[in-house]
Amino acid sequence: MSKISFTLIQTFLHWEDKQSNLKMLEEKIKGINNSHIIILPEMFSTGFSMNPQKLAEPFPGPTHEWMQKISKEKNKIITGSMMVEENGEYYNRMVWMLPNGEFGFYDKRHLFAYAKEDEHYAAGQKRLIASVSGWKINLQVCYDLRFPVWSRQQFSKDGAFEYDVLIFVANWPARRSLAWRTLLQARAIENQCYVIGVNRVGDDGNKIYHSGDSMVVDPLGEVLYHKADEEDIHTVLLDKDHLQTIRDKFQFWRDADRFAILP
């Protein structure tokens, strides 16, 4: 498939209120038709809460089942992160849900110690790169954006790329929006891929304001979509031929450092 469409849902989240958030998101998703993949923000059912003892679900659990239901009804892939409990640990888990009920997941690797996330959640140990009709999609969560080694493309000797699209779902505060916008563009340029960042808007339960600033960036760093301070639902069509043309013309991968990420 030479083209693939993503719908970004930039939305306000009801603080620690799963039922209200799932009802609200279901209403928003109902009107989405011409899209392959729907992207929700980080912790879309609760907001970025440090209260997993109260709010985390077993996995699979009710929010996971909600994703299965909506994905099947709409016949679309849905992704976003939620808080889950597994084997006595809590995770900020990004789920990749297919319409047939199959799924994959990625546990956030870099925990935001500034907000004490590391005191409440366990860190993930491996990446997830999903495949959709010839496209490869790397899934990451919020603070991972600040750590370029974790998302760095690994190139084969013949120039094969690990992935084509890099997605970040977030609850990224407005006070650091310059870093958010700058790093999304940097990740696209250095990895020669499309980058999609989906952030929430509005105040959370700690009175921290989020400006959204959801973005889609092409492999040269050009911004294809950007929206600040408002709720928005936007669908973007990405072109594999455009991506390949850039990679063929600018073969920066030939000069890249070879490395391995150690546990």
pLDDT digits (tens, 9 = 90+) for 139-167: 999 999 999 999 999 887 777 899 999 99
Res 241: pLDDT: 97
Contact yes or no for 184/177 (Cβ under 8 A): no
Confidence of residue 88 (pLDDT cuts 50, 70, 90): very high
Q: Which of 42, 76, 193, 227 is catalytic?
A: 42
Q: Which of 57, 76, 117, 142 is catalytic?
A: 142
Q: In whole angstroms, what is the distance from residue 98 CA to residue 88 CA?
A: 27
Q: Which of 57, 108, 193, 227 is catalytic?
A: 108
Query: Which of 93, 128, 95 is CA-nearest to residue 111?
Result: 93
For residue 208, the tally of other CB atoms under 10 A from its CB is 15
Confidence of residue 174 (pLDDT cuts 50, 70, 90): very high
pLDDT at residue 104 is higher than 90: yes
Res 55: pLDDT: 98
Confidence of residue 260 (pLDDT cuts 50, 70, 90): confident
Catalytic (active site) residue 227: no
Over residues 3-29, the mean pLDDT reads: 98
Res 159: pLDDT: 73
Q: In whole angstroms, what is the distance from residue 198 CA to residue 39 CA?
A: 7
Helix (H) or strand (E) holding 112: none
Catalytic (active site) residue 193: no
> Is 3.60.110.10 the CATH number for 3-255?
yes
